[in-house]
């Protein structure tokens, strides 16, 4: 979705009611010509009376005799079955796409006027949609790093405690951050090269410059067939964190810090 608004006030002025929101979504998804989401028929559907809370939204019934099912532009989308107004869904998409440092579910809930749980659900539904429909390759300069997420073992209930110490009780998460671009995160069973390299190849485009620490999983990335990666490393063990101003992994490490403090949210799959 392309939101050509400079301020939230402009957004509110444009999307002033549900009917406007439905019309916008119809134009985006159907180019203004309804298509049955059940059978894919483009035959002109019957217009029917809307059900539920909003009575002026566009509602249809498929004109194909073999289908004959009712639908709206929500049907078959991430918005289907949700009791939250479409306007709030669109506002959430606007808020998430314009927040430079991310937005927590608590803050999003306040802005939308919904509970934190509802905001969390909306946030993750939208992020899941973006991952599924727009898995663009990361390009340019990409920072890689891994971290471990989870509470301390001593703070867990007795039936939740696991044997071992340190990372043994936490979930490993692998992150790939494109500078001035997107970030992709994955829960992984291990942080070795066998596990991480396939993820890197699937996520990072040809010719990218990859920056990592000296973790062994990243060895010989520049030899990856057909990708022509440029691989730069910073040696944290020897106290090196920045080289030539731009060679560092500080961006993704800062993201991990914000994530663990709950300041930003992310879709981790």
At 167 the pLDDT is: 59
For 140-168, write each residue's pLDDT tens digit.
Answer: 999 999 988 765 555 555 555 555 545 55
Give 80's DSSP letter. T
Give 53's DSSP letter. S
Give the predicted TM-score (pTM) of the model: 0.50
How far apart CA 176 and CA 144 sit, in angstroms, is: 5
Of the pLDDT bands very low, low, confident and very high (cuts 50, 70, 90), residue 266 is: very low
At 181 the pLDDT is: 82
At 261 the pLDDT is: 62
At 269 the pLDDT is: 47
Q: Which helix (H) or strand (E) holds 89?
A: helix 86-98
Mean pLDDT of 217-241: 86
- Across the strands, what pairs with 176? 144, 184
Give the domain 141-260 fold.
Answer: Nucleotidyltransferase; domain 5 (3.30.420)
244: left (phi over 0), alpha (psi -120 to 50) or beta: left
86 compared with 170, residue with greater pLDDT = 86
User: Among positive and negative, which fits the CA dihedral 187, 267, 234, 220?
Assistant: positive
Task: Name which of 250, 148, 146 is nearest 200 in CA terms.
Answer: 146
| Portions of the chain given CATH number 3.30.420 | 141-260
For 176-192, write each residue's pLDDT tens digit.
Answer: 999 988 888 888 888 99
Mean pLDDT of 32-59: 84
């Amino acid at each position: 979705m392309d939101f050509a608004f400079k301020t939230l006030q402009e957004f509110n002025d444009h999307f002033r009611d549900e009917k406007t929101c439905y019309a916008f979504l119809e134009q985006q998804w159907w180019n203004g010509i309804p298509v049955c989401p059940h059978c894919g028929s483009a035959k002109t559907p019957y217009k029917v009376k809307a059900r539920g809370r909003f009575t002026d939204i566009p509602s249809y019934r498929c004109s194909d005799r073999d289908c004959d099912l009712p639908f709206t532009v929500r049907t078959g989308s991430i918005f289907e079955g949700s009791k939250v107004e479409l306007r709030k869904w669109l506002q959430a998409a606007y808020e998430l796409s314009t927040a430079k440092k991310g937005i927590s579910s608590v803050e999003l809930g306040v802005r939308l006027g919904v509970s934190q749980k509802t905001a969390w659900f909306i946030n993750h539904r939208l992020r899941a949609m973006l991952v599924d429909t727009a898995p663009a390759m990361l390009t340019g300069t990409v920072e890689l790093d891994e971290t471990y997420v989870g509470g301390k073992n001593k703070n867990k209930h007795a039936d939740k405690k696991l044997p071992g110490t340190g990372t043994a009780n936490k979930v490993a998460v692998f992150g790939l951050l494109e500078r001035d671009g997107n970030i992709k995160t994955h829960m992984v069973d291990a942080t070795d090269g066998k596990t991480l390299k396939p993820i890197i190849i699937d996520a990072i485009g040809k010719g990218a410059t990859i920056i990592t620490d000296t973790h062994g999983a990243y060895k010989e990335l520049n030899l990856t067939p057909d990708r022509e990666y440029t691989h730069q490393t910073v040696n944290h063990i020897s106290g090196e964190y920045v080289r030539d101003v731009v060679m560092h992994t500080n961006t993704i490490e800062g993201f991990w810090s914000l994530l663990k403090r709950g300041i930003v949210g992310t879709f981790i799959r």
